Structure 1
């Protein structure tokens, strides 16, 4: 059976679909078959909401749990700002980005100051250089992720802008960057594959 699957280019999913079609064809009664629409484009968070904070480089630097939470929140906000900027430039969505920045400018600026403080505390005089390197690496990684999405990226980014622009307060923005991305619905192929013997 394995060699037959290989020759036809069928995996478990193809075999399961083929068997289901044979079973339907052999029925004397016409059974209605549900036509499944293709899964919708992903919505919700397009980008990871949690940005990994650079590790502490000195044993002398200690943070309380509350300080860690404040730093993580600031990094998440700056990460979202960076990702939305890439989308704005790549997908000609500058108007949405400008609205986001105008709406949340004081809160984003406060997050930027918290992030600046983290790098100052971590690196002293070299902190600014480390922060510049971090911001560049973050943007590069987000650009690579955007390219990997191909033609879906702008559609996904529109969904992210729609969600962000529905937020009304800094507290809403904080919750938005703290929440995990919603679960994506299982595709027909993965469901068929999981149920195949």
Structure 2
């Protein structure tokens, strides 16, 4: 566990340059996006590399099922907080953009992608358990390829509109 924490800290230092991916102001939200990116990367490895990686992805999902359900729920809650009724749509857009970005990365690596990434399954399955998943995901820097954690442009960042009562009292 200390080793994973040390790797996460080292990865955080390495991602500090000006070109680093946008981070969430809330570390819990950041962890949710990173775990989602890891799950997506493993799915892309499984669907791209075929063979035993498909079974390994299923093993990953079974082992971390409860943590993945929580992550999925928290991701949905994030988008609901940020976008209100449009939250589900924004969540779906994010998931699609993330899958596309990870797939594009796989295509750009070509035949090098599978040998380079199939070891992810051994790494993730060797973790002590679900509580180690966020720290491990943080070391992988999977959000830097065109999809950011806590995407900007949310209504929370827009100026608040005055309520009718506030407009009346301002007169």
Interval of TM-score (by shorter of Structure 1 and Structure 2)? 0.5 to 0.7
1:168 counterpart SS class: coil
Q: Give distance in 1, aligned partners of 2:58 and 2:66.
A: 14
Deviations 1:1-26 (A, max 9, x none): xxxxxxxxxxxxxxxxxxxxxxxxxx
Among 87, 94, 97, the residue aligned to 2:54: 94
Deviations 1:112-159 (A, max 9, x none): 111111000011111111111111011101111001111111112211
TM-score, structure 1 as length reference: 0.57
Q: How many residues align?
A: 124
1:126 equivalent in alignment to 2:74: no
Q: Structure 1: which 5+ residue stretches go unaligned?
A: 1-43, 56-64, 182-197
1:71 equivalent in alignment to 2:63: no
Shift in Å, 1:179: 2.6
Partner of 2:99: 139
Contact kept, 8 Å, 2:44 with 2:103, in 1: the verdict is yes
Deviations 1:81-118 (A, max 9, x none): 01110110111111110010000010011111111110
1:151 counterpart SS class: helix
Runs of 4+ in 1 over 6 A off after TM superposition: 48-51
TM-score, structure 2 as length reference: 0.65
Structure showing greater radius of gyration is: 1
Shift in Å, 1:178: 2.1
1:172 equivalent in alignment to 2:132: yes
